[in-house]
Chains A and B, each alone.
Chain A
Amino acid sequence: MSGTRRASPTARKLATWMVWLLGGAFLMSLGLMGTVLHFVVRDLTASYTGVGLNPFQPQSRPTQATTPDPLATPTLTQLAVKPQPWDGTSRVTILLMGLDYRDWVAGESTPRSDTMMLVTIDPLTLQAGMLSIPRDLWVEIPGFGYNRINTAYMLGEAYQLPGGGPALAMQTVENLLGVPVPYFAVVDFHTFERLIDEIGGIDVLVMQRIKIAPIGRPGKWLEAKPYHLDGADALAYARVRKNAGGDFGRAERQQQVILAIMDRVVGFDMLPTLIGKAPALYQELASGIRTNLTLEQIVQLAWLAVQVPKDHIQSGVIGPPEMVGFYTRPDGAQVLRFVPDAIRGLRDRIFVETSAIGPSIAEKPEEGYAP
């Protein structure tokens, strides 16, 4: 019995060696794991940008040989745009921009902005507003002379100005309207469609018969009646220009779509769900949204927006006959001259009269947005 319990010196030596070997292997694997962990954490930390949506990674220009993807965000080489802080009490004004689909299809490296809309919310008075700016407005673009306002974005991108296209577009709009524009958001087509699909589509009352051409689907006519539109149809409805009031009719439809989105989100009490899904949505859609708003600010603004009663939302389109004049330039280009006094009147209706800046502040409405 003792022979089985007491190992021979050789066996004991072997066992000791085994123990040391195992210990050494353990320590080595520990060291290896530690090293790997060190590098992983280091790389993750080093690559974290701290920016909310879209870290603005430069993307290469589509070459002639490749067919541009119309659904991809046509982001260009540009400088980083830092998120702007928001104190929670100041009026928030965001320049929403959509890029020109035709430029993208044509492989233009620097697309123009196709849609420009100022969206504003005053957190103190709970008043909101939307102001659409026509793309052919003839304005002075800082550093580039006079041109259509939709070229501001393109010029800022092409010349790689500080802040890129969004910064120059924001500055141009500020110079035109006088209101501070600290935030911007550029949303690509696919992301817009996806967002609308995420909320289950929108209900829209089509005011007149109109033909829409959803991307990737055959065109179709919408009669003058209520419709429930999915993402692709809603985007097409907001984009169509021909035979539907041109740019000005389109601007009105875009505002109608935004209100319909709010109706949907508020009416179906979807905001808590959406906010719960925000991180996942962010992962999915971040590449399609360029903005200097952080994700937290977007969530904050969404909560704020649903508190705004519908009758507290002012909207307007810079359009004929009072606010613009039609001109043809010597080169044949048809542009719009802005009529400062009239535009100022619209600006004041949306921004000044609804501002918390005034002798007294109106009481906040008891109830929130009611679709």
Chain B
Amino acid sequence: MGYDGRGRDEAGPTRVSGVGNSGGVDTQPVKTAVRSRPSRWVKWRWPLLGAMLTLVMIAVSVTTGYMRGLEERAAAQEQAQAEVARQQFDAGMQDLLAGNYERARQRFEYVLTLEPDRPGAAEALGQALTALNQPTPTPSPVASPTPTETPDFGSFEGMFTSAQAAFARADWTSTIDILLRLRAEMPTYRLEEANQLMAVALRNRGMDKLFTGELEQGIYDLTLAEKFGPLDAQSLSWKRSAAFFIFANSYFGLDWKLATEYFDQICQANIWGACTKYGLAAREYAAELAEEDPCAAAQYYEIGYGYVGADASAPTATHVAHRCATVTAPPPTATETSTPGTETPTATFIPGPTWTPSPTATAGQMATPTHTPTVAASSPTTTPTPTTGVPTATNTPTPNPSTSETPAN
């Protein structure tokens, strides 16, 4: 590598110089040797150039490789995401056709998070939600990102103001999160106001959850809110209703009689799809009664079909109806007496949790939030819809708080 292209090697000039000094025959070589001595740069230029080229090549290779890798990763993720979205969409459509609306909802919501513009997904989600009797998001199921302020975590006051801003735009979760962070930094900063904000945010988030069918989650938030003070009448009433629904639901599939009784009561308020559950429970309970009490079975079949339609049990229902007509048909003699041992079905249920009027608000209860969703209970096909109307006692059914766990346990 020390070759300079002119036939000299590194030892050349030294040797020439040495000859001149020792012999003294030729006075010129010394001058020549001094003139031709390569500088250090000239001496190392090729190795240096080679090293530099190597470094440049490494840098270029790594950079281009990294950039290309990023592109490929993004493309692969996009492709995988599109594939997953397509699979989920197809599976969702199958679920929709098969009547698995809840599953279809999960899939379409997921598809829309991956591909908000995917054709047909929003409509399919709307169909699933309609079938589930849940409010369809309008105008589009795809939540358009709304510009929100970036929380100011630079100062305690900034955090508190950010929490207030989040509260003002009804972003309860952000409110709670920011206040928790504030609490972590300075537990006593504007404690009373922070507590009030936190309490109402929890209360409102809990209510929102109740209205969207997340019952136990809503109860949990309301329970947390209760740590700050008693709940207002409306939220307390809804909390009890939700607890009663869950109580009734715990018997579903295990004790059809009790499930029927309890869902009947909730169905009167027509919330959370209780009537569908009532219908399903009644149908199953009818099947249990078919042998022993055909008339009661016929009545429960009728109730069940009224809410959820007939299914494979229809022939059985027809059969028990005939049997009921037979056993209750008037005897040939004109005497009109009921057949001994035949129990006439009745619509009254075994005493259990019952609806009572909503409790009235008392002083010291939690402040009413600015955003108060209420429920508009109407026909059996509709579900609670968050509105901004004024709550009434009739649309906030409240089960008796003395609900016990004793039945069939």
> Which residues of A pack against B, CB within 8 Å?
5-7, 12, 15-16, 19, 26-27, 30-31, 33-35, 37-48, 79-80, 87, 89-90, 123-124, 138, 140, 142-146, 159-163, 174-180, 325, 327, 329, 335, 337-342, 344, 347-348, 351-352, 355-361
Question: Which interface class (under 10, 10 to 19, 20 to 34, 35 or more) fits B?
Answer: 35 or more
- Which of A7, A178, A335 makes the CB contact (< 8 A) with B254? A335
Q: Which residues of A contact B217 (CB under 8 A)?
A: 174-175, 178-180
B57 closest partner in A (C-beta): A34
Is B107 interfacial (CB 8 A cutoff)? yes
Q: Which residues of A contact B106 (CB under 8 A)?
A: 142-143, 161-162
CB pair A40 B250 closer than 8 Å: no
> Which residues of B pack against A, CB within 8 Å?
3, 5, 7, 12, 50, 53-54, 57-58, 60-62, 64-66, 68-70, 72-73, 76, 80, 84, 87-88, 91, 95, 100, 102-103, 105-107, 109-110, 176-177, 180-181, 183-184, 187, 191, 195, 198, 202, 214-221, 223-224, 227-228, 243, 246-247, 249-255, 403, 405, 408-409
Other CB < 8 Å A-B pairs besides A37-B61, A175-B217, 20 of them? Answer: A7-B7, A34-B57, A38-B61, A40-B65, A45-B70, A87-B177, A124-B180, A124-B183, A143-B100, A160-B91, A161-B106, A337-B409, A340-B250, A344-B219, A356-B183, A357-B176, A357-B180, A357-B202, A358-B228, A359-B228
Q: Which residues of A contact B243 (CB under 8 A)?
A: 340-341, 344
Q: Which residues of A contact B247 (CB under 8 A)?
A: 340-341
Instruction: Show 18 A/B contacts (Cβ-Cβ < 8 Å), sorted by A.
Output: A34-B61, A38-B61, A38-B68, A48-B69, A87-B177, A89-B184, A144-B102, A161-B106, A162-B107, A162-B110, A178-B220, A325-B409, A329-B253, A340-B246, A352-B223, A356-B184, A357-B224, A358-B228
Query: Roughly how many angstroms separate A348 CA and B187 CA in the complex, as a whole number?
Result: 23
CB pair B220 A89 closer than 8 Å: no
B221 closest partner in A (C-beta): A178
CB pair A46 B102 closer than 8 Å: no
Given contacts A175-B216, A179-B220, A360-B191, contact A42 B3 (CB under 8 A): no
Query: Roughly how many angstroms separate A237 CA and B390 CA in the complex, as a whole number?
Result: 58
CB pair A34 B60 closer than 8 Å: yes
CB pair B65 A37 closer than 8 Å: yes
Q: Which residues of B contact A348 (CB under 8 A)?
A: 223
Mostly helix, strand, loop or mixed at chain B's interface? helix
B80 closest partner in A (C-beta): A80
- Which of A33, A41, A174, A352 makes the CB contact (< 8 A) with B227? A352
CB pair A30 B57 closer than 8 Å: yes
A11 closest partner in B (C-beta): B7
CB pair A138 B254 closer than 8 Å: yes
- Which of A175, A335, A339, A352 makes the CB contact (< 8 A) with B409? A339
CB pair B69 A45 closer than 8 Å: yes
Q: Which residues of B contact A341 (CB under 8 A)?
A: 243, 247, 403, 405
Nearest-Cβ distance from residue A356 to partner chain B, whole angstroms? 6
Q: Which residues of B contact A325 (CB under 8 A)?
A: 408-409
- Which of B69, B180, B214 makes the CB contact (< 8 A) with A42? B69
Query: Roughly how many angstroms separate A40 CA and B217 CA in the complex, as a whole number?
Result: 49
Q: Which residues of A contact B215 (CB under 8 A)?
A: 175
CB pair A34 B66 closer than 8 Å: no
CB pair A146 B253 closer than 8 Å: yes
